[in-house]
Amino acid sequence: MYKVINPKTNPKIVPFAFTLLVYLVWLLGQGPQSAVANFVAQLSIAITMMFGSFVAGGTALGGGAVAFPVMTKLLGIEPATAKVFSLAIQSFGMTAASLTIIFCGIRYFKQVVLFALLGAIPGVIISLLFIAEHLPRLATKTVFSVFLLVFSFTLLRLHFTHKNFQEQPDLRSPYLITLVGFIGGLASGIVGSGADIMVFALLVLFYKKELKAATATSVIIMAATSIVGSWCNFVLLDGLTPQISAFLWAAVPVVVIGAPLGAFVCAKVKAGVLLSFLLSLIVLEVGFTSFELLNRPL
Protein backbone atom coordinates (compact mmCIF):
# COMPACT_ATOMS: atom_id res chain seq x y z
CA MET A 1 0.00 0.00 0.00
CA TYR A 2 1.08 3.57 -0.68
CA LYS A 3 1.57 5.90 2.26
CA VAL A 4 -0.36 9.16 1.96
CA ILE A 5 1.74 12.22 2.75
CA ASN A 6 -0.11 14.66 4.98
CA PRO A 7 1.04 18.30 4.59
CA LYS A 8 0.17 18.90 8.24
CA THR A 9 2.61 16.23 9.45
CA ASN A 10 5.14 16.73 6.66
CA PRO A 11 4.95 20.42 5.69
CA LYS A 12 8.05 20.20 3.49
CA ILE A 13 5.84 18.62 0.84
CA VAL A 14 4.18 22.01 0.21
CA PRO A 15 7.08 23.74 -1.62
CA PHE A 16 7.74 20.51 -3.53
CA ALA A 17 4.08 20.32 -4.56
CA PHE A 18 4.17 23.97 -5.70
CA THR A 19 7.22 23.30 -7.89
CA LEU A 20 5.60 20.18 -9.35
CA LEU A 21 2.41 22.13 -10.11
CA VAL A 22 4.40 24.86 -11.86
CA TYR A 23 6.16 22.28 -14.03
CA LEU A 24 2.86 20.64 -14.94
CA VAL A 25 1.39 23.99 -15.97
CA TRP A 26 4.60 24.81 -17.85
CA LEU A 27 4.37 21.61 -19.90
CA LEU A 28 0.61 21.44 -20.39
CA GLY A 29 0.15 25.16 -20.95
CA GLN A 30 2.46 25.18 -23.96
CA GLY A 31 2.73 21.55 -24.91
CA PRO A 32 6.02 19.68 -24.27
CA GLN A 33 7.47 20.43 -27.71
CA SER A 34 6.64 24.15 -27.61
CA ALA A 35 7.85 24.42 -24.01
CA VAL A 36 11.28 23.00 -24.88
CA ALA A 37 11.50 25.05 -28.10
CA ASN A 38 10.72 28.31 -26.28
CA PHE A 39 13.17 27.44 -23.50
CA VAL A 40 15.94 26.94 -26.05
CA ALA A 41 14.99 30.11 -27.93
CA GLN A 42 15.10 32.13 -24.69
CA LEU A 43 18.07 30.33 -23.17
CA SER A 44 19.84 33.59 -22.32
CA ILE A 45 16.85 34.66 -20.19
CA ALA A 46 16.76 31.27 -18.45
CA ILE A 47 20.48 31.44 -17.65
CA THR A 48 20.12 35.00 -16.36
CA MET A 49 17.31 33.97 -14.04
CA MET A 50 19.28 30.95 -12.85
CA PHE A 51 21.48 33.44 -11.01
CA GLY A 52 18.75 36.02 -10.45
CA SER A 53 16.46 33.53 -8.70
CA PHE A 54 19.25 32.38 -6.38
CA VAL A 55 19.82 36.01 -5.42
CA ALA A 56 16.07 36.55 -4.95
CA GLY A 57 15.73 33.59 -2.60
CA GLY A 58 18.95 34.02 -0.69
CA THR A 59 19.37 37.76 -0.17
CA ALA A 60 17.37 40.89 0.55
CA LEU A 61 17.78 41.99 -3.09
CA GLY A 62 15.11 40.79 -5.52
CA GLY A 63 15.95 38.84 -8.64
CA GLY A 64 15.49 42.04 -10.59
CA ALA A 65 18.83 43.22 -9.20
CA VAL A 66 20.42 40.67 -11.53
CA ALA A 67 17.78 40.40 -14.25
CA PHE A 68 17.28 44.09 -15.02
CA PRO A 69 20.90 45.15 -15.71
CA VAL A 70 21.71 41.96 -17.62
CA MET A 71 18.59 42.24 -19.78
CA THR A 72 18.98 45.94 -20.55
CA LYS A 73 22.78 46.16 -20.90
CA LEU A 74 23.86 42.75 -22.19
CA LEU A 75 20.74 41.49 -23.98
CA GLY A 76 19.53 44.83 -25.36
CA ILE A 77 15.98 44.54 -24.01
CA GLU A 78 13.85 47.64 -23.46
CA PRO A 79 13.93 48.85 -19.81
CA ALA A 80 10.11 48.91 -19.55
CA THR A 81 9.91 45.28 -20.68
CA ALA A 82 12.73 44.25 -18.33
CA LYS A 83 11.04 45.93 -15.34
CA VAL A 84 7.67 44.27 -15.92
CA PHE A 85 9.34 40.90 -16.48
CA SER A 86 11.55 41.24 -13.40
CA LEU A 87 8.58 41.94 -11.15
CA ALA A 88 6.57 39.10 -12.71
CA ILE A 89 9.24 36.44 -12.47
CA GLN A 90 9.85 37.34 -8.83
CA SER A 91 6.22 36.37 -8.25
CA PHE A 92 7.11 32.77 -9.09
CA GLY A 93 10.64 32.45 -7.75
CA MET A 94 10.17 34.33 -4.50
CA THR A 95 6.87 32.55 -3.86
CA ALA A 96 8.69 29.24 -4.20
CA ALA A 97 11.39 30.54 -1.85
CA SER A 98 8.77 31.82 0.60
CA LEU A 99 7.06 28.42 0.75
CA THR A 100 10.45 26.86 1.45
CA ILE A 101 11.06 29.36 4.26
CA ILE A 102 7.60 28.94 5.81
CA PHE A 103 7.21 25.17 5.56
CA CYS A 104 10.82 24.04 6.04
CA GLY A 105 11.36 25.73 9.39
CA ILE A 106 13.57 28.62 8.30
CA ARG A 107 13.28 31.42 10.83
CA TYR A 108 11.49 34.63 9.85
CA PHE A 109 9.45 37.33 11.59
CA LYS A 110 5.73 36.75 10.99
CA GLN A 111 4.63 39.98 12.63
CA VAL A 112 7.00 42.01 10.45
CA VAL A 113 5.63 40.37 7.31
CA LEU A 114 2.09 41.35 8.29
CA PHE A 115 2.85 44.96 9.19
CA ALA A 116 5.14 45.48 6.19
CA LEU A 117 2.60 44.15 3.69
CA LEU A 118 -0.05 46.49 5.10
CA GLY A 119 2.11 49.25 3.62
CA ALA A 120 3.86 47.54 0.69
CA ILE A 121 0.72 46.29 -1.07
CA PRO A 122 -1.07 49.65 -1.34
CA GLY A 123 2.32 51.25 -2.02
CA VAL A 124 3.07 49.15 -5.11
CA ILE A 125 -0.50 49.59 -6.42
CA ILE A 126 -0.37 53.38 -6.06
CA SER A 127 3.09 53.48 -7.60
CA LEU A 128 2.18 51.44 -10.68
CA LEU A 129 -1.15 53.14 -11.33
CA PHE A 130 -0.32 56.76 -10.61
CA ILE A 131 3.42 57.41 -10.14
CA ALA A 132 5.76 55.13 -12.08
CA GLU A 133 4.97 56.41 -15.57
CA HIS A 134 5.50 60.03 -14.51
CA LEU A 135 8.92 59.62 -12.86
CA PRO A 136 12.20 59.07 -14.69
CA ARG A 137 13.22 55.53 -13.75
CA LEU A 138 16.93 56.29 -13.85
CA ALA A 139 16.62 59.19 -11.41
CA THR A 140 14.63 57.05 -9.00
CA LYS A 141 17.03 54.15 -9.40
CA THR A 142 19.94 56.47 -8.67
CA VAL A 143 18.37 57.54 -5.37
CA PHE A 144 17.73 53.90 -4.53
CA SER A 145 21.35 53.00 -5.36
CA VAL A 146 22.62 55.78 -3.09
CA PHE A 147 20.44 54.35 -0.33
CA LEU A 148 21.94 50.89 -0.94
CA LEU A 149 25.45 52.31 -0.84
CA VAL A 150 24.86 54.10 2.47
CA PHE A 151 23.23 50.95 3.82
CA SER A 152 26.25 48.84 2.83
CA PHE A 153 28.67 51.22 4.58
CA THR A 154 26.51 51.08 7.71
CA LEU A 155 26.47 47.27 7.61
CA LEU A 156 30.24 47.19 7.30
CA ARG A 157 30.69 49.59 10.20
CA LEU A 158 28.39 47.54 12.41
CA HIS A 159 30.10 44.32 11.39
CA PHE A 160 33.64 45.49 12.13
CA THR A 161 32.73 47.21 15.39
CA HIS A 162 30.96 44.01 16.52
CA LYS A 163 27.84 45.92 17.50
CA ASN A 164 25.51 44.37 14.96
CA PHE A 165 22.77 41.80 15.31
CA GLN A 166 22.25 42.21 19.07
CA GLU A 167 18.52 41.69 18.91
CA GLN A 168 16.04 43.95 20.64
CA PRO A 169 13.53 41.95 22.71
CA ASP A 170 10.47 43.20 20.82
CA LEU A 171 9.38 45.14 17.77
CA ARG A 172 8.95 48.73 18.87
CA SER A 173 6.84 51.08 16.75
CA PRO A 174 5.19 48.51 14.45
CA TYR A 175 3.64 51.34 12.43
CA LEU A 176 7.16 52.29 11.39
CA ILE A 177 7.38 48.90 9.67
CA THR A 178 4.18 49.69 7.77
CA LEU A 179 5.52 53.10 6.74
CA VAL A 180 8.81 51.65 5.51
CA GLY A 181 6.88 48.90 3.72
CA PHE A 182 4.76 51.54 1.98
CA ILE A 183 7.85 53.44 0.81
CA GLY A 184 9.37 50.16 -0.33
CA GLY A 185 6.17 49.36 -2.23
CA LEU A 186 6.39 52.71 -4.02
CA ALA A 187 9.99 51.93 -4.98
CA SER A 188 9.03 48.42 -6.13
CA GLY A 189 6.51 49.83 -8.59
CA ILE A 190 9.16 52.10 -10.11
CA VAL A 191 12.36 50.00 -10.18
CA GLY A 192 11.04 46.46 -9.59
CA SER A 193 12.28 46.02 -6.02
CA GLY A 194 12.54 48.00 -2.81
CA ALA A 195 10.11 46.63 -0.24
CA ASP A 196 12.52 43.79 0.55
CA ILE A 197 15.74 45.76 1.02
CA MET A 198 14.05 48.62 2.90
CA VAL A 199 12.37 46.36 5.46
CA PHE A 200 15.59 44.35 5.70
CA ALA A 201 17.54 47.54 6.43
CA LEU A 202 15.00 48.53 9.10
CA LEU A 203 15.22 45.12 10.77
CA VAL A 204 19.01 45.02 10.80
CA LEU A 205 19.85 48.64 11.58
CA PHE A 206 16.96 49.78 13.79
CA TYR A 207 15.63 46.61 15.40
CA LYS A 208 19.07 44.89 15.45
CA LYS A 209 17.59 41.65 14.18
CA GLU A 210 19.68 38.69 13.09
CA LEU A 211 20.84 38.83 9.45
CA LYS A 212 19.54 35.50 8.16
CA ALA A 213 16.07 35.82 9.72
CA ALA A 214 15.81 39.37 8.38
CA THR A 215 16.71 38.09 4.91
CA ALA A 216 14.06 35.36 5.02
CA THR A 217 11.48 37.93 6.15
CA SER A 218 12.36 40.26 3.28
CA VAL A 219 11.95 37.45 0.74
CA ILE A 220 8.38 36.74 1.85
CA ILE A 221 7.51 40.44 1.78
CA MET A 222 8.87 40.88 -1.74
CA ALA A 223 7.11 37.74 -2.96
CA ALA A 224 3.70 39.11 -1.97
CA THR A 225 4.56 42.58 -3.27
CA SER A 226 5.65 41.12 -6.62
CA ILE A 227 2.43 39.12 -6.97
CA VAL A 228 0.27 42.20 -6.39
CA GLY A 229 2.47 44.36 -8.63
CA SER A 230 2.34 41.82 -11.45
CA TRP A 231 -1.45 41.60 -11.14
CA CYS A 232 -1.57 45.39 -11.59
CA ASN A 233 0.76 45.24 -14.59
CA PHE A 234 -1.12 42.45 -16.36
CA VAL A 235 -4.76 43.01 -15.39
CA LEU A 236 -5.10 46.75 -14.82
CA LEU A 237 -2.34 48.03 -17.13
CA ASP A 238 -2.50 45.29 -19.81
CA GLY A 239 1.27 44.91 -19.72
CA LEU A 240 1.62 41.24 -20.69
CA THR A 241 3.19 41.43 -24.15
CA PRO A 242 4.06 38.36 -26.26
CA GLN A 243 7.75 39.02 -25.58
CA ILE A 244 7.28 39.11 -21.79
CA SER A 245 5.11 35.98 -22.02
CA ALA A 246 7.89 34.13 -23.88
CA PHE A 247 10.44 35.27 -21.29
CA LEU A 248 8.23 34.07 -18.44
CA TRP A 249 7.58 30.66 -19.96
CA ALA A 250 11.36 30.18 -20.34
CA ALA A 251 12.34 31.41 -16.88
CA VAL A 252 9.60 29.95 -14.66
CA PRO A 253 10.97 26.37 -14.53
CA VAL A 254 14.36 27.75 -13.54
CA VAL A 255 13.33 30.17 -10.81
CA VAL A 256 11.07 27.77 -8.89
CA ILE A 257 14.20 25.73 -8.23
CA GLY A 258 16.82 28.47 -8.00
CA ALA A 259 15.00 30.68 -5.48
CA PRO A 260 14.27 27.90 -2.92
CA LEU A 261 17.88 26.80 -3.29
CA GLY A 262 18.99 30.36 -2.49
CA ALA A 263 16.73 30.43 0.58
CA PHE A 264 18.12 27.10 1.78
CA VAL A 265 21.75 28.14 1.30
CA CYS A 266 21.07 31.46 3.05
CA ALA A 267 19.76 29.60 6.09
CA LYS A 268 22.85 27.37 6.25
CA VAL A 269 25.81 29.67 5.60
CA LYS A 270 27.48 31.82 8.21
CA ALA A 271 26.25 35.38 8.64
CA GLY A 272 29.62 36.75 7.49
CA VAL A 273 29.40 34.87 4.18
CA LEU A 274 25.87 36.13 3.61
CA LEU A 275 26.98 39.68 4.42
CA SER A 276 29.83 39.50 1.92
CA PHE A 277 27.52 38.17 -0.80
CA LEU A 278 24.95 40.90 -0.14
CA LEU A 279 27.57 43.65 -0.20
CA SER A 280 28.99 42.30 -3.48
CA LEU A 281 25.55 42.45 -5.07
CA ILE A 282 25.05 46.01 -3.84
CA VAL A 283 28.36 47.05 -5.38
CA LEU A 284 27.31 45.48 -8.70
CA GLU A 285 23.91 47.18 -8.59
CA VAL A 286 25.46 50.57 -7.84
CA GLY A 287 28.02 49.96 -10.59
CA PHE A 288 25.34 49.26 -13.20
CA THR A 289 23.41 52.38 -12.17
CA SER A 290 26.59 54.48 -12.43
CA PHE A 291 27.19 53.01 -15.89
CA GLU A 292 23.67 54.03 -16.93
CA LEU A 293 24.23 57.57 -15.66
CA LEU A 294 27.55 57.97 -17.47
CA ASN A 295 26.14 56.64 -20.74
CA ARG A 296 22.74 58.34 -20.76
CA PRO A 297 22.04 60.49 -23.83
CA LEU A 298 22.62 64.19 -23.37
Whether 9 contacts 103, CB under 8 Å: no
- Contacts (Cβ under 8 Å, ≥6 apart) of 42: 246, 247, 249, 250, 251
Q: What pLDDT, on the 0 to 100 scale, is given for residue 7?
A: 52
Neighbours of 108 (CB within 10 A): 21
| DSSP labels, 149-218 | HHHHHHHHHHHHTT-TT---SS---HHHHHHHHHHHHHHHHHHS--HHHHHHHIIIIIS---HHHHHHHH
* Of 256, 284, 290, the residue nearest 98 (C-alpha): 256
Chain centre distance of CA 275? 17
Strand, helix or coil for residue 127: helix
Whether 115 contacts 181, CB under 8 Å: yes
Whether 93 contacts 255, CB under 8 Å: yes
| Backbone torsions φ then ψ of 246, nearest 5 degrees | -65, -40
Measured CA to CA, the distance from residue 117 to residue 258 in angstroms comes to 24
- Print pLDDT tens along the chain (298 aa): 334 444 555 678 999 999 999 999 999 999 999 999 999 999 999 999 999 899 889 888 877 777 877 887 788 888 788 889 989 999 999 999 999 999 998 999 999 999 999 999 999 999 999 998 888 777 777 877 888 887 888 778 777 765 545 555 566 678 999 999 999 999 899 888 889 999 998 998 888 888 889 999 999 999 999 999 999 999 999 999 999 999 999 999 999 999 999 998 888 888 788 888 888 888 888 888 888 778 776 5
Q: What pLDDT, on the 0 to 100 scale, is given for residue 283?
A: 85
Q: What pLDDT, on the 0 to 100 scale, is given for residue 4?
A: 42
* Of 280, 255, 177, the residue nearest 221 (C-alpha): 177
Q: What pLDDT, on the 0 to 100 scale, is given for residue 115?
A: 96
